[in-house]
Amino acid sequence: MNISVVIPVFNEEESIPELTEWIVRVMKANAFSFEVIFVDDGSKDDSWKIISKESSNNSSIKGIRMRRNYGKSAALHEGFAVAKGGVVITMDSDLQDSPDEIPGLYKMIVEERFDLVSGWKKKRYDPISKTIPTKLFNWTTRKMSGIKNLHDFNCGLKAYKQEVIKNIEVYGEMHRYIPVLAKWAGFTKIGEKVVEHRARKYGVTKFGLERFVNGFLDLLSITFVSRFGKRPMHLFGLLGSLMFILGFMAALYLGLSKLYSVYYNLPARLITDRPSFYLSLTCMIIGTQMFLAGFIGEMISRSAVDRNKYVIGEKLNIEE
């Protein structure tokens, strides 16, 4: 099978028939073998009924229904799990992503050998209250992830080699950071394609400004987990050791200065009357706690069932 199209759906009953017809038309025009997987993420309208109808009319149209609204990442995760196409394409169900972009995305994966291609909605039809936070979000993500050639991490229109989506885990709000997850899994050939952004035709947006706050927290989370998830001692042990040494050196200085004053009969305050004593003591306590946190984290990591789970590129003369 050439292409799997994974489409999360949440209350988009008006868009589904038109989107389905459009995708099928593009696929047939390019002689692609394909499947379209609609993942109904707990819709309250008739989205599932319409998906069921489309599925009964065309065996290439498939559906997954979530029992409640879990979020876009969960919907993509379930769609990725059953996708069988050599190239997997994701798009939103609100008709703001154009299926006419599918052949170009497919070509970049198959012919130009990209692991992942992300759409860039260079010209957007969103209000300024959405475009400015989006630009800030993308700038921050570029700086923290090191993927400097992407302008629109949050674009729903993306294409992947099947190997990519089978080796990353999308959860929480991580759908915004799939290129980052892919890069840290070893899929470094990441490209970008300018795509058409269409004005919303039906309904209203399902996302508010809180998604940027949640998204930033998730970025911090995956940055930490990817760098220190398997070696927490490298972070907590280092910081804890530095803080303990700093506190110990300060306490040692106070002790030696007190002994010096006593030995030469110089006036000196009690060590416990000096604020610096309590600061040094606090540093030693916090340093010890951080070191122990790193040690415990290391023990948990060593006991994890996936501690040696890595992505293999290829094998030669290795029998499975």
Q: Which helix (H) or strand (E) holds 209?
A: none
Place of tokens 């799939």: 178
| Contact criterion met (CB below 8 Å) for 192 and 118 | yes
| Contact criterion met (CB below 8 Å) for 174 and 210 | no
pTM above 0.85, yes or no: no
Q: Picking from 5-14, 164-173, 208-217, which range would have the lowest pLDDT averaged per residue?
A: 208-217
Cβ–Cβ contacts within 10 Å for residue 314, how many? 5
246 phi and psi angles, rounded to 5 deg = -60, -45
Higher pLDDT pick, 113 / 305: 113
| Contact criterion met (CB below 8 Å) for 116 and 158 | yes
Distance CA(129)–CA(132), nearest Å, equals 6
Q: Which of 97-101, 122-126, 143-147, 184-188 is most confident?
A: 97-101
pLDDT at 1: 87
Res 213 pLDDT > 70: no
pLDDT confidence of 100, banded at 50, 70, 90? very high
**What is the rounded average pLDDT of the residues 19-23?**
96
118 phi and psi angles, rounded to 5 deg = -105, 135
pLDDT at 316: 41
**What is the rounded average pLDDT of the residues 66-78?**
90
What tokens appear for 89 in the block? 């394409």
Share the mean pLDDT of the chain. Answer: 85
pLDDT at 313: 53
Cβ–Cβ contacts within 10 Å for residue 110, how many? 15
- pLDDT tens for 299-309 read 776 665 555 45
* Nearest residue to 160 (alpha-carbon basis) of 83, 82, 74: 83
**What is the rounded average pLDDT of the residues 175-192?**
90
- Give the list of residues 6+ apart from residue 49 with CB closer than 8 angstroms, or none: 13
Higher pLDDT pick, 258 / 216: 258
pLDDT at 318: 46
Res 106 pLDDT > 90: yes
Per DSSP, helices labelled H in 146-274 are 162-165, 178-184, 210-228, 238-263
Distance CA(199)–CA(149), nearest Å, equals 25
Strands in 34-40's sheet, in edge-to-edge order, are 61-65, 34-40, 3-9, 87-90, 158-161, 116-120, 190-194
| Contact criterion met (CB below 8 Å) for 75 and 38 | no
Measured in whole angstroms, how far is the alpha carbon of residue 189 from the centre of its chain? 17
- pLDDT tens for 244-294 read 999 999 999 999 998 888 888 888 788 888 899 999 999 999 999 999 988
pLDDT at 225: 65
- pLDDT tens for 22-71 read 999 999 999 999 999 999 999 999 999 999 999 999 999 999 999 899 88
pLDDT confidence of 153, banded at 50, 70, 90? confident
